[in-house]
Every structure is written in C-alpha cells, then in structure tokens.
Amino acid sequence: MSDTPTRSSTILLRVALSRVQKMTLLPQQFQELDSFVDRWALATEQERNARRRASTMGELQRFYNEMLPRMSGIIEYLNQYSLDSLPEEAQRLFYLALSFMEISPAVELFGEPDESGVFKATRFVICEPTTV
C-alpha cells in the first residue's frame, strides 16, 4: 500500500512541524527535559501544587532525578536574562525549575505527593502577586 500524495505530504508536514515545535520547546542544551514540559511548565504555584498532588510518587521521583543534576546549569543559563525578559523557551525552563522546588518536599521530606492528614490543600488559598 502506498500513500496518496496528499497523505504523505500531510505526514511530512506533521514531522516538520513536530521538529520545529521540538526545537523551540526548551533551550537546546536542555532538550532532554522536553518530555516534562507538558506536565510541569506551569505558570502558577496553584497549578504546580495541583499537579504535584495529582502525580504518583514514581512520576515525581523521575522528574526530580532528571532535574536535580541539571538545576545549577539551568539557573546559570536563566541568569543571563532578567526575570521580565525571558524568551519563550527559557520561560518554560524557568517554570520547570519552579516545579522542581514545588515537588522537592514531596521527594526529600514526605515520601508522598501530598502529606497525609494535613489541612486540605483545596481549602488552603494560594494567591501570588501578579508580578512573578
């Protein structure tokens, strides 16, 4: 079976598009973290905390393990920019680093995504100033 010309060009276009998207997801030297962008490049503490609570310990540990050895390099890279002028890929990387801090107590202290028996997260209101 062979593809019709239209179908194959669609596939080619998709491949090309995914390459373009992939190239712009994170700065080039951090592309091995691309697979975490979907889940962890989150702009607010509420979102990051909600994602942490909705994750399994295995997911958190895997993210932590991949991020920890790179954190110094990530911060060094980000520090060449000012906070309010991060390019899009650097912004995603910045959010990943904030997510690393969000999950660190779960991995380093509690051994569970959210500590059991504490005051309900959904009743604990988080309000961040609009300037990050």
Partner 1 sequence: MKSFSLQQRWANKYPELGTEPIPVEPNISAEYFERERERIFKRAWLNVGRVEDISGVGDYVVKDLEILRTSLLVLRGRDGIVRAFHNVCKHRGNKLAQSCSGGARSFICGFHGWTYDLAGKLVRVPDEEQFFNFEKSAYGLTPVATEVWEGFIFINLVADPAETLQEFIGELFDQFLGYPFSKLRPIVNYSAVVGVNWKIFMEIFQECYHVPNIHRSSVAEIGTGKDNPFGHLLSTRLYRRHRSASVYYNPAHQPTAAESLAFRYGPTILQGTGTDDFPSAPPGINPDKSSKWGFDINVIFPNFILDLANGSYWTQTFWPISVDRTLWEVKLYMEPPGSPGERIGQEFSKVLMRDAFREDLSQLETIQANMESGALTHTPLSDQEIVVRHAYKVVNDIVEGGT
Binding site for partner 1 (CB under 8 A): 45, 49, 68, 71-72, 75-76, 78-79, 81-83, 86, 94, 97-98, 100-102, 104-105, 108-110, 115, 117-119, 121, 123-129, 132
Distance CA 118, CA 109 (A): 14
Closest to 80 in 3D by CA, of 95, 69, 90: 90
Distance CA 97, CA 23 (A): 19
Task: Give whichever of 49 and 55 is closer to partner 1, judged by the CB atom.
Answer: 49
Please list, in sequence order, all residues whose beta carbon lies within 8 angstroms of the beta carbon of residue 31, skipping any fewer than 6 positions away: 22, 25
Task: Give whichever of 38 and 84 is closer to partner 1, judged by the CB atom.
Answer: 84
- Min CB(112)–partner 1 separation in Å: 9
Distance CA 119, CA 6 (A): 57
Task: Give whichever of 4 and 82 is closer to partner 1, judged by the CB atom.
Answer: 82
Task: Give whichever of 21 and 105 is closer to partner 1, judged by the CB atom.
Answer: 105
Q: How many CB atoms lie within 10 A of CB 103?
A: 22
Count of alpha carbons within 13 angstroms of residue 76, beta-carbon side: 7
Please give the structure tokens belonging to residue 97.
Answer: 């680093």
